[in-house]
């Protein structure tokens, strides 16, 4: 039976209705799939906030998932510097290189700056013709539709997200480029709420880590200072005990040496000429012994400090006036640096002069072994509010690591002549002033002696009262 015209028309209507229903079903399926994907993105965002504490990694993941969720080809996240009121580019995708270099936008300027200022999102139909972008013909985010969303934590805005170049999800060619929709805007509004909290938490975590690191550095510094203080206390106690011992021994030796000196002078007048050379050698030996005894007495005896205001720059000039000729003879270049306005110290100028003279003499003797350039650098400057630091650095061979820990011990010397008491005496003088004397000597890079002195001390106040 051949269908009539009426039946053909009815079949056509049914086919058309079925086609329309199929098209609507496909559209509903696509919208449902899109919704499922977006819900999955929201869920992923919550999980990422919990498991990615590093802010740079979190921002990269957030931007990539957001671009996929709304089919954006270009995007960026900018974070707000609240103190300077500027937005800084934190992460970008698809931008031109020159655009990525433009890392700052002032609040109130451009689309992102206005979004942050007003706290409201912006949906632009075509950024190529929108005057708010300011660069016609070559907009930084290409052309077409554009969305800028604020990143908000409660009432506080922490940044902005820019999305551009909406891409087709159907694969259709030709026609107008796809545009962002109000549905995209609503989804992004929900997504950015999670994102803002995640970014803020990551930033707080990063700040906490940095604070912990700074605290660890402070603790390590305090531990180092405590160790140094303990070493100095042990050194001071050791020097004090040795001082009492050697002072007693030196005193007992001093009397017979005085007698020997008198005898040698008498012999020098009475012996024949042929024996005078031997008497001269005896006199030299006795004088050398007396020099050692004097050093022992100086080391063992705590001389009272005669404090007064001492201008360190003037003191250094006096010391160099006494030592510069010997330094020049040995081809040592002197570099002096005294901080302008360096405050005076309340100290015994004669004893400080003894310390500086001794350290300069040690540097001169050390550099005598060097064939290359010989340089003595002396600097004086503030060390905080209440102390001054004096550095005396040479270009000698340095102090061997094996003995640097005992360099301030009495009788410790690497020189063929000398008593080995100079540094011990200097150490004691600086300690008596309430200061510190230390040394650093990297292998092959000379030695640097550091003196730290208080500008004022309780003894200074008492002396002036």
* Choice between 292 and 364, residue whose per-residue pLDDT is larger: 364
- CATH classification code of 305-465: 3.30.565.10
pLDDT value of residue 138: 44
The CA-atom distances, in angstroms, between 349 and each of 292, 316, 317, 391 are 24, 11, 13, 17
- Which pLDDT belongs to residue 287? 72
Q: What is the pLDDT of residue 413?
A: 65
Structure tokens at 37: 């994907």
- Does pLDDT of 30 surpass 60? no
| Between residues 197 and 392, the one the model is more confident about | 392
**Do the beta carbons of residue 366 and residue 397 sit within 8 Å?**
yes
User: C-alpha distances in angstroms, 99 versus 74, 122, 426?
Assistant: 12, 20, 63
Mean pLDDT, residues 230-257 taken together: 63
pLDDT in tens, 34-82: 555 555 555 565 555 555 557 777 788 888 888 887 888 888 888 888 8
pTM of the model: 0.43
Give the chain's mean pLDDT: 76
| pLDDT at residue 454, as a whole number | 92
**pLDDT surpasses 90 at 175:** no
Q: What is the pLDDT of residues 317-349, one digit of tens each?
A: 999 988 888 888 888 999 999 999 999 999 988
Does residue 389 have a pLDDT over 90? yes
> What Cα–Cα distance (Å) separates residue 440 from each residue in 33, 151, 336, 398, 444?
70, 52, 19, 9, 12
CA distance 253 to 257: 6
What are the φ and ψ backbone dihedral angles of 104, each rounded to 5 degrees?
Answer: -130, 135
Q: What is the mean pLDDT of residues 379-398?
A: 92
């Amino acid at each position: 039976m051949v269908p009539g015209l009426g039946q053909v028309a009815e079949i056509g209507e049914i086919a058309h209705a079925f086609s329309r229903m199929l098209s609507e079903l496909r559209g509903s399926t696509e919208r449902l799939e899109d919704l499922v994907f977006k819900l999955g993105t929201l869920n992923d965002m919550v999980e990422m906030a919990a498991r990615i504490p590093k802010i740079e990694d979190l921002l990269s993941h957030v931007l990539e998932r957001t671009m996929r969720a709304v089919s954006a080809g270009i995007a960026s996240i900018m974070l707000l510097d609240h103190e300077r009121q500027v937005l800084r580019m934190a992460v970008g995708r698809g931008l031109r290189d020159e655009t990525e270099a433009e890392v700052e936008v002032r609040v109130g300027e451009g689309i992102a700056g206005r979004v942050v200022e007003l706290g409201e999102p912006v949906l632009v139909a075509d950024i190529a013709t929108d005057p708010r972008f300011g660069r016609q013909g070559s907009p930084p985010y290409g052309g077409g539709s554009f969305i800028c969303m604020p990143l908000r934590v409660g009432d506080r805005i922490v940044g902005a997200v820019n999305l551009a170049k909406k891409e087709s999800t159907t694969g259709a060619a030709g026609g107008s480029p796809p545009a962002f929709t109000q549905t995209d805007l609503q989804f992004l509004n929900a997504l950015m709420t999670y994102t803002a909290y995640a970014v803020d938490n990551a930033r707080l975590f990063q700040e906490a880590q940095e604070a912990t690191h700074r605290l660890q550095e402070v603790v390590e510094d305090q531990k180092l200072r405590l160790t140094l203080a303990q070493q100095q206390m042990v050194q001071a106690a050791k020097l004090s005990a040795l001082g009492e011992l050697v002072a007693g021994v030196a005193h007992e030796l001093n009397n017979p040496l005085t007698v020997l000196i008198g005898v040698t002078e008498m012999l020098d007048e009475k012996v024949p000429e042929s024996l005078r050379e031997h008497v001269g050698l005896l006199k030299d030996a006795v004088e050398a012994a007396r020099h050692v005894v004097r050093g022992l007495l100086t080391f063992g005896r705590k001389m009272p400090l005669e404090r007064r205001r001492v201008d360190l720059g003037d003191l250094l000039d006096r010391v160099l006036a006494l030592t510069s000729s010997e330094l020049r003879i040995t081809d040592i270049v002197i570099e002096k640096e005294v901080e302008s306005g360096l405050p005076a110290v309340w100290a015994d100028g004669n004893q400080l002069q003894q310390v500086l003279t001794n350290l300069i003499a040690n540097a001169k003797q050390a550099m005598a072994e060097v064939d290359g350039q010989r340089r003595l650098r002396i600097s004086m400057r503030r060390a905080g509010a209440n102390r001054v630091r004096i550095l005396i650095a040479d270009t000698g061979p340095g102090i061997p690591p094996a003995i640097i820990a005992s360099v301030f011990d009495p009788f410790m010397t690497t020189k063929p002549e000398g008593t080995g008491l100079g540094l011990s005496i200097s150490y004691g003088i600086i300690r008596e002033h309430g200061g510190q004397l230390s040394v650093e000597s990297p292998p092959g890079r000379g030695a640097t002696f550091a003196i730290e002195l208080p500008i004022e001390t309780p003894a200074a106040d008492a002396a002036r009262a």
